């Protein structure tokens, strides 16, 4: 599929993976709206991106944890760049699993940002694109959502919920010609994983961003990045619970 060159909203634009996706899409000539909380970093990213690619780049401030700002974000993005062709949801919060086991506020923050906040913005974007009968939405879920593991089940369950939400949304929106793609990255070398030890197959964010945009052009429904994670998670999902619960994964 040839992706047309309409405006794209990047929500969570300061994320390591989002930077790479923005770069790929800007190189293709899409006007970009970089949205996030850090105004100065957004401005810096926008001027760098527009200088390097010659593309129109805008910024918009929003806090994913405040659903009231989500309709305003869509209005601002559309006013600045025009009706959106696409949207990428890249914000997320890994949090601290150990802390989340004793501190409900930490557990709640992980669950709310990764699931409730994403669902809220998707709710707004879906209505707009469904009404216009056009568009695409790409969302960063995670391999962590494919199976609950002792070491990160709070984050994993939020991403698992998001994955299921996206399955249903994809089925709803395909009737309107709106495409929804779920991205399931394995560990990627970004601020999110900085300082974590024992991460297998740590991927480069540039490679991950390029693979995501390639999958988007092919209108994939679900993409694992890097691709070996599809097989790894298939195998992990087949391990019987009786055995799996005794691992310290």
Q: What angle do CA 159, 163, 165 make, to 5 degrees?
A: 110
Q: What is the pattern of x (binds ligand NAP, CB under 6 A) and - over residues 203-242?
A: ----------------------------------------
* CB neighbour list of residue 193: distance below 8 Å, 6 or more residues apart: 94, 187, 199, 202
Select from 1-9, 10-18, 125-133, 239-247 the region that touches ligand NAP (CB under 6 A).
10-18
Residue from 93, 153, 155, 224 carrying the catalytic annotation: 155
Strands 57-61 and 222-225 come out as unpaired
Spatial separation of the C-alpha atoms in residues 181 and 201, rounded to whole Å: 23
* CB neighbour list of residue 81: distance below 8 Å, 6 or more residues apart: 7, 9, 31, 32, 33, 56, 58
Cα dihedral value 33, 37, 43, 46, nearest 10: -30
DSSP state of 143: G
Near ligand NAP by CB under 6 A: residue from 122, 140, 213, 216: 140
Residue among 213, 187, 190, 191 nearest 199 (CA): 187
Does the annotation mark 155 as catalytic? Answer: yes
Residue nearest to ligand NAP (CB): 92
Does 188 sit near ligand NAP (CB under 6 A)? yes
Burial grade of 67 (CB within 10 A; 0-12, 13-18, 19 or more): middle
Select from 11-19, 53-61, 120-128, 165-173 the region that touches ligand NAP (CB under 6 A).
11-19
Q: Which is nearer to ligand NAP, 92 or 135 (CB)?
A: 92
Q: Which is nearer to ligand NAP, 134 or 193 (CB)?
A: 193
Near ligand NAP by CB under 6 A: residue from 34, 88, 192, 213: 192
71 to 130, contacts with ligand NAP by CB under 6 A? 90-93, 113
Catalytic residues: 155
Which residues sit at the interface with ligand NAP, rule CB under 6 A?
Answer: 12, 14-18, 36-38, 63-65, 90-93, 113, 140, 142, 185, 187-188, 190-193
């Amino acid at each position: 599929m040839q992706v047309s060159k309409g405006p794209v909203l990047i929500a969570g634009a300061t994320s390591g993976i989002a930077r790479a996706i923005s770069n790929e899409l800007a190189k293709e000539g899409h006007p970009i709206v970089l949205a996030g909380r850090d105004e100065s970093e957004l401005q810096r990213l926008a001027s760098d991106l527009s200088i390097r690619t010659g593309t129109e780049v805008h910024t918009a401030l929003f806090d994913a944890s405040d659903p009231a700002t989500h309709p305003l974000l869509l209005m601002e993005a559309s006013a600045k760049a025009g009706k959106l062709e696409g949207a990428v949801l890249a914000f997320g919060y890994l949090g601290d699993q150990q802390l989340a086991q004793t501190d409900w506020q930490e557990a709640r923050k992980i669950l709310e940002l990764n699931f409730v906040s994403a669902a809220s913005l998707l709710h707004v974007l879906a209505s707009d694109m469904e009404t216009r009968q056009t568009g695409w939405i790409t969302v960063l879920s995670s391999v962590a959502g494919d199976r609950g593991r002792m070491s990160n089940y709070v984050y994993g369950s939020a991403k698992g919920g998001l994955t299921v939400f996206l399955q249903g949304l994809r089925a709803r929106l395909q009737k309107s010609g709106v495409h929804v793609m779920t991205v399931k990255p394995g560990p990627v070398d970004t601020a999110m994983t900085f300082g974590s030890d024992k991460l297998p197959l740590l991927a480069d964010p540039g490679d991950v961003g390029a693979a995501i945009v390639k999958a988007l052009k092919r209108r994939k429904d679900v993409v694992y990045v890097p691709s070996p994670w599809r097989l790894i998670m298939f195998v992990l999902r087949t391990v019987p619970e009786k055995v799996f619960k005794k691992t310290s994964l």
